[in-house]
Amino acid sequence: MLDLWYKNAIIYCLDIETYRDGNGDGVGDFVGLTQRLDYLSGLGITCVWLMPFYPSPNKDNGYDVMDYYSVDPRLGSLGDFVEFSRQAEERGIRVIVDLVVNHTSDQHPWFQTALQDKNSKYWDYYLWSKEEPEDIEEDIMFPGLQDTTWTYAPEAEAYYAHRFYDHQADLNITNPAVREEIQKIMGFWLQLGVSGFRIDAASHLIELRQADNLFEKVDDPFIYIDEMRDFLSWRRGDAILLAEANEPVEELHHYFDGGDRMQMLFNFWSNQHFFLALTRGEAAPLIQSFKDLPSVPKIGQWANFIRNHDELTLNHLSDDQQDEIAAAMAPDRDTMWVFDRGIRRRFAPMVDGDPQRLKLTYSLLLTMPGTPVLNYGEELGMGDDLTLDERKPARTPMHWSTAPNGGFSTAPADQLVLPVIAEGDYGYKQINVTTQQQDAESLLNWMERAIRLRKECPAFGWGKWQILEVDQPSIFAHRCEWQGHVVIAVHNLSQADCEATLTLPEDGGRCLIDLFTDQSTEVSQQSSYTMQLAGYGYCWLQACEKTG
C-alpha cells in the first residue's frame, strides 16, 4: 500500500540560521535545532522542511548553493545533520529539504570552471548565448534589484541565463549530465534519511530558454519532472516532491499529471484569495479559489500556507484587489511591500495581532483541503522588523524566552545573523515560547490543541471534500469524508457575529459533535443545521449516527 503520510502531515518550515544557536556564535545551527526537537514534537509537528543549509555565499538566504553535498560550516557539519535527522526520526518527525537546482551560485565550482574553460564539461551545465538575447529584460523576478535575466560574462565572452539574481546562474536542464547530477544530489540526501524535497522554483527549472547550447528540442518540459519523480520513487517509495510553482491555476494540473509527477504543490492560488476573503469579510473569493483548482490525483495533495519566508505575492489578483488588501493589511507601500508585487510582513502584524483573526486563520489552515505548512514563529504570532531590507523583515530569529536575544543565542546582540525583534508589542519579551507555554490562553497552546485535533481527524487530509452551501456570505464551510468518518469545518471570515444555516444533504438526522467544546447537536431531518458563530468564529464538527 502507498504510504500517503504527507496527506496528514503537519509541516513546519524553518531556517537553521535563525532558529536556535547552539554554540553561541550568533548563527543558528543544527546542534541548536536538535535541542529544540522536543519543542516541535510537543507542538505536534510531523515533518520539518529545512530551508537551504548548504555551503553558500549567502547572497539569497542560502538559495545560492556552492556545494550540494555538504552543510554550511556556519550551521554545523554533515555529522550534525545526521545526528539531527536521527533524533527527528526517533520522535516521528520526517525531514524534507530544499532542492535548489534551477540555478547554482556563481561561486559554485561548476560555474567557475565553465567561465574559465569553454571546453570543460561544465560549460554545458549552464545556458549561454553569444548574442544579447531578446528576452534579456523579460520576466524579472526581483524588480528593483535585478535588471536583466541574462548577464554578460567577459571571461566567457557570452551571456549566461539567470531567472533570479545575476549571482544565480541557471542550470541547463536539457543536458543529461545536469539531470544526472540532480539525481545524484537527491540520492545523497535520501540516503541520509530525508523524506523528500521542496523543489525550489520548479516552474523555472523546466522553463526552456533560448540558449545557444540546448541539448534537445522538447515539446513538454514536464518530462524532466517525470524523470525526477521516477528516480525518487525507485530510491525511496515514500519520499515526496513538493513543488514551488506559483503559476496560473490552469497550469497547475501539469504538476500532478495523474499522480506521476509531484505529490504536493504549494497552494499559492488559494493563499492569495484567502487574503482577499479575509480583507472583505466574505468567503466568496476563497470558495471560488477552491472551485478553480484542478482536482488532484489520489496520491496528490495541496500544501496550504498562510505566510512563507518570501513576500506574500499577490500576482494572481487584480490591481484593485491588491489595493484592497494593502489598505487593510499593509498600507505603507514604501516599507511594507517589496518587488512591487507583494507584502513583506508577517501575518500577525497584518491583523494587528488580533487573537480572534489569528485563530480563525490558523483554524482554516489546519482544515482547508490539503496539508498545512506553518512557517516558524507563526505558532507564537511573531512580528516583523520593517527596518530590515528586502525580504528580511519576516526572517528574524525565533523567540524562545525573555532571555537576552529572546533565547535565540548567547552571542552579543550585534553579532547575530539578523537582529532579534526586541522592542514593541512583538518584541521577544512579549512574544516568546516560554511565556506562551505558561499561559493557557496563548496562541501557542491553542495551536498545540488545534494540531492535536487535526491529527485526530484524518478525514481532513485524506477525505473527499466538498464546499457546503450556507446562507451567510461570510461563511466558508466544507465537509470531508473518509472511510465513514465525516468532519465539517465552519469559518466566519467577518468580524460580525452571525447565525448561519448550513445545508448538509448527506447528514440529515445525524448528530454533530463540536470537537473543541464536545457539545453535541443535531442536523434536522431536512438536512439543515443552524448555528451561531461569533465574529471570526470557527468550529469543527464531527457528524455521526445517533445512538439510542
- Residue from 260, 310, 354, 514 binding ligand NOJ (CB under 6 A): 310
Residue 260 contacts ligand NOJ per CB under 6 A: no
The three cell numbers locating residue 178: 545536469
Q: Are strands 520-522 and 511-514 parallel, antiparallel or unpaired?
A: antiparallel
Pairwise CA distance, residues 188 & 95, whole Å? 14
CA 349 to chain centre: 19
Residue 200 contacts ligand NOJ per CB under 6 A: yes
**CB 2, min distance to ligand NOJ, A:** 28
Q: Report whether 286 contacts 270 (CB < 8 A).
A: yes
Which residue, 142 or 516, is less far from ligand NOJ as judged by CB? 142
Which residue, 392 or 479, is less far from ligand NOJ as judged by CB? 392
Which residue, 61 or 375, is less far from ligand NOJ as judged by CB? 61
The three-state secondary structure class of 11 is strand
* Only segment of 56-64, 272-280, 372-380, 498-506 that touches ligand NOJ (CB under 6 A): 56-64
Q: Site size for ligand NOJ, by CB under 6 A?
A: 9
Residue 63 contacts ligand NOJ per CB under 6 A: yes
DSSP state of 213: T
Q: Report whether 411 contacts 21 (CB < 8 A).
A: yes
**CB 165, min distance to ligand NOJ, A:** 8
- DSSP β-bridge partners for residue 95: 48
* Only segment of 58-66, 183-191, 321-329, 343-351 that touches ligand NOJ (CB under 6 A): 58-66
Half-sphere exposure of residue 500: CA atoms within 13 angstroms, side-chain side: 28
**CB 102, min distance to ligand NOJ, A:** 7
**CB 200, min distance to ligand NOJ, A:** 5
Q: Which residues have a Cβ under 8 Å from the Cβ of 505 and sit 6 or more positions away? A: 527
Residue 426 contacts ligand NOJ per CB under 6 A: no
Helices (H) and strands (E) in the chain, counts: 17, 25
Residue window 163-192: x/- pattern of binding to ligand NOJ, with contact defined by CB under 6 A = -x----------------------------
**CB 314, min distance to ligand NOJ, A:** 16
The three-state secondary structure class of 478 is strand
Pairwise CA distance, residues 71 & 73, whole Å? 6
Please identify which residue in the block is written with the cell numbers 494587528. Answer: 352
**CB 275, min distance to ligand NOJ, A:** 18
- Which amino acid is it at 12? Y
Which residue, 314 or 512, is less far from ligand NOJ as judged by CB? 314
Q: Which residues have a Cβ under 8 Å from the Cβ of 246 and sit 6 or more positions away? A: 203, 266, 268, 313, 315
DSSP state of 63: -
Residue 80 contacts ligand NOJ per CB under 6 A: no
**CB 233, min distance to ligand NOJ, A:** 25
**CB 413, min distance to ligand NOJ, A:** 26
**CB 187, min distance to ligand NOJ, A:** 22
Q: Report whether 216 contacts 174 (CB < 8 A).
A: yes
The three-state secondary structure class of 482 is strand
> In this structure, how many other beta carbons lie within 10 angstroms of the beta carbon of residue 184?
12
Residue 339 contacts ligand NOJ per CB under 6 A: no
Minimal CA–CA distance to 104: which of 211, 181, 197? 181
Which residue, 60 or 124, is less far from ligand NOJ as judged by CB? 60
Residue window 83-122: x/- pattern of binding to ligand NOJ, with contact defined by CB under 6 A = -----------------x----------------------
DSSP state of 146: B
Tell me which residues in 445-484 interact with ligand NOJ (CB under 6 A): none
* Only segment of 59-67, 183-191, 410-418, 487-495 that touches ligand NOJ (CB under 6 A): 59-67
Which residue, 141 or 249, is less far from ligand NOJ as judged by CB? 141
- Residue from 17, 60, 170, 385 binding ligand NOJ (CB under 6 A): 60
The three-state secondary structure class of 221 is coil
- Which amino acid is it at 228? M
Q: Mark whether 200 is an active-site residue.
A: yes
Instruction: List Cβ<8 Å contacts ≥24 apart for 531-534.
Output: 531/490, 531/499, 531/500, 531/501, 531/502, 532/497, 532/498, 532/499, 533/475, 533/490, 533/492, 533/497, 533/498, 533/499, 533/500, 534/356, 534/492, 534/497
Residue window 219-258: x/- pattern of binding to ligand NOJ, with contact defined by CB under 6 A = -------------------------x--------------
Which residue, 63 or 111, is less far from ligand NOJ as judged by CB? 63
Minimal CA–CA distance to 271: which of 257, 285, 261? 285
Residue 201 contacts ligand NOJ per CB under 6 A: yes
Which residue, 201 or 277, is less far from ligand NOJ as judged by CB? 201
Which residue, 101 or 240, is less far from ligand NOJ as judged by CB? 101
Catalytic residue, from 17, 29, 72, 200: name it: 200
Q: Mark whether 106 is an active-site residue.
A: no
**CB 390, min distance to ligand NOJ, A:** 10
Q: Which helix (H) or strand (E) holds 256?
A: helix 253-256
Which residue, 31 or 343, is less far from ligand NOJ as judged by CB? 343
Residue window 482-521: x/- pattern of binding to ligand NOJ, with contact defined by CB under 6 A = ----------------------------------------
Q: How distant, in Å, are the alpha carbons of 43, 144, 166, 200 from that of 147?
A: 43, 7, 9, 22
Catalytic residue, from 17, 244, 282, 311: name it: 244
Q: Are strands 128-129 and 158-161 parallel, antiparallel or unpaired?
A: antiparallel
Active site residues: 200, 244
Chain residues binding ligand NOJ by CB under 6 A are: 60-61, 63, 100, 164, 200-201, 244, 310
